[in-house]
Amino acid sequence: MEKKWVYTGKRWIYDIGEIAVIVLQFVAVFSLLCMICAVTPELPAGETVGQWMWFGKGVWISAGCVIASCLVQYLKKDSWAEILCFQYFSKSVAWSIVLLGGVEAVWGLRQLYGFSVSGHSLYALTGSFFNPGPYGGYLAMALPVCLHCYLHASKCKKKHIFRQAGIGIAGISGISGLLVLCVLPATMSRSAWIAATVGCAWVAYMHHEKRKWKYLWRKYWRRYLAWGTAGVLVLALAGAGVFFLKPDSALGRLFLWKIACRAIAEHPWGCPWGFAYAYGEAQEKYFSSGNYAAWEERVAGSPEYAFNEYLDCALNISLPLTIILLCMIVMYLRIGVMYRQYGVCGALLSLLLFSFSSYPMHIPGFMMAGVFLLIACREGILIGKFLIVGAWLAVSVAGLGDKWKQEEDACRKWAHARMLYQLGSHAAAQKAYEEIRPALDDRGAFLFEYGHSLHKSGNYEESDWILRAATYRSNDPMIRNVMGKNCQAMGFYWQAEAYYLSAVHLLPGRIYPYYLLAKLYAEPEYRNRERFEEMKRIVLTKEPKVYSTAIKEMRDEVEKMENEWEIRQ
């Protein structure tokens, strides 16, 4: 085997062949991880199919780099063990995340100062994401890696090129880390703050000498005990401050997890229709019992995700498989600590903590980063190379690239159809929705818009059929409201009442379903004075979350219905 280091008489330099291998392996990893920066503003908000499209292109670049790396190592006459092993996989993953963290931080700073457009109209800071929450989580994942690279480069004492480049390596990682620290507080993501703090604290602890810690503890244990107690009190106060920063958001998250746990109890082996259906079913049962607190009604919503990847995973793939998956992750973390991959393990720890209160695994770029971090827990592993080649073969053989292309084209048409829908051109929107439905049949928002457009056009039976499919993809109570209006228009009053009551039980804090029930009980063919009075009282007295002109119009119309009732009698 040839030497990787060559002495020129003045200094040590790296073998040019080895530099080529390092660059090729880095590009192989970076070309896949940079899919997080793929932005498609022309698609509907929140769509991530653009990242999958980049992945489909990136695997070709990655596979080419892997093959070229093997060829260079073969020409260098390296051993087969080195040729078949992805030697610099862990370092490539770490440095890719460092660079991407810096890119995302600069992206966010440009948005804060008005040089770049945010991904969401309600937020000034989102990076390449649609929401500042996942954006903060990605920065929190990158920060421990930046810290590890900085500490590792600062302590490098070898008399070769790494010593000469140590200042540069520490500088790049330090600058990237400082940029992340500048932006992270502005995301207002408490989950990201906690994840970044724990990940960086763990990396800092692992870089200190254990003997020194033990000596200092024996000598100054009383002082450290006092500092530790003060630190616990400060953390408790900080936790309380973080909670009261957005109390309803925190309570809403707790209530969401409570209902998700109830759904898991009903579907311990996983729900075949996914999270939205199982969660909506569990929340409807909970509120229909009547045994709930007032604050739970106030903070309840119709979420797309569990905001807890572990609960979401348990509902989708079953509780036992989730436990097995967590055990595998813990095993990989232990391997990472054993091989001193502190930066990778710190990033993975931050990602695991952030996943406890967010939905990073629903974003393709996050998912890819999580998989690569797990594999990178061991340096020079054989599976890394087969993973990339296997992904390339999967895309080529299974034709996923064509599927993602069809979805992307359909999403572009969906954005146009949505404009027609919002403008009230329901006949034209209906035609556009029908054309792209086969590619977007798994999206609840699309199915609702299509079904509502059919309702507005008077196609009540077809609308009901489409909206029935939407209930398996979304737990939005508006789906049940429109289904009830379809049945009411067709004269199926008892079924309309069932749909309206289902919407009431799903989200009892909404006034609209009570208003629809009042209109139903005022129908001449389904008139019920007692129930009408009850619904009227709720509409007039219930305190809405946000008061709007729509609330005023509903209340005025209910009073008008009351006056018309008196006139008829």
Domain segments of the chain: what residues? Answer: 5-208+362-398, 401-489, 511-569
- Most distant CA pair in the chain, distance: 109
Which residues lie below 8 Å from residue 23, measured CB to CB, with a gap of 6+? none
The pLDDT score that the predictor gives to residue 3 is 47
The pLDDT score that the predictor gives to residue 214 is 64
The pLDDT score that the predictor gives to residue 82 is 67
Rounded distance between C-alpha atoms, residue 380 and residue 330, angstroms: 20
Residue 207 burial by CB count (10 A; 0-12/13-18/19+): exposed, middle or buried?
Answer: middle
Q: What is the pLDDT of residues 434-470, one digit of tens each?
A: 999 888 888 888 999 999 999 988 889 999 999 999 9
The pLDDT score that the predictor gives to residue 13 is 47
Q: What is the pLDDT along the chain (569 residues), one digit of tens a residue?
A: 344 544 444 444 456 777 888 888 899 889 989 999 888 888 887 788 888 888 878 888 887 888 888 888 777 766 666 666 777 888 889 999 999 999 999 999 999 888 888 888 788 899 889 889 899 999 999 999 999 988 887 776 554 444 444 456 777 888 899 999 999 999 888 889 989 999 999 998 887 766 666 666 666 666 767 766 776 777 677 666 666 667 777 788 889 999 999 999 999 898 888 888 999 999 999 998 888 888 888 888 888 888 899 999 999 888 999 999 999 999 999 988 888 889 999 999 999 999 998 899 889 889 999 989 988 887 655 544 555 555 555 555 455 667 778 888 888 889 888 888 888 888 888 888 999 988 888 888 899 999 999 998 888 999 999 999 999 988 899 999 999 999 999 989 999 999 999 999 999 888 999 999 999 988 888 888 888 888 889 888 888 877 778 888 888 888 888 776 655 55
Written out in words, the top-level CATH class of the domain with range 401-489 is mainly alpha
Phi-psi region of 340 (alpha: psi -120 to 50; beta: other; left: phi over 0): left
Q: Are 368 and 323 in contact (CB under 8 A)?
A: no
Rounded distance between C-alpha atoms, residue 329 and residue 511, angstroms: 45
Q: What is the DSSP letter of 14?
A: E
Rounded distance between C-alpha atoms, residue 544 and residue 512, angstroms: 10
Residue 121 burial by CB count (10 A; 0-12/13-18/19+): exposed, middle or buried?
Answer: exposed
Quick one: how many helices (H) and strands (E) in the chain?
A: 25, 2
Residue with tokens 């054309």: 435
Percent of the chain predicted with pLDDT > 90: 31
0.85 exceeded by the pTM? yes
The pLDDT score that the predictor gives to residue 14 is 55
Rounded distance between C-alpha atoms, residue 213 and residue 218, angstroms: 9
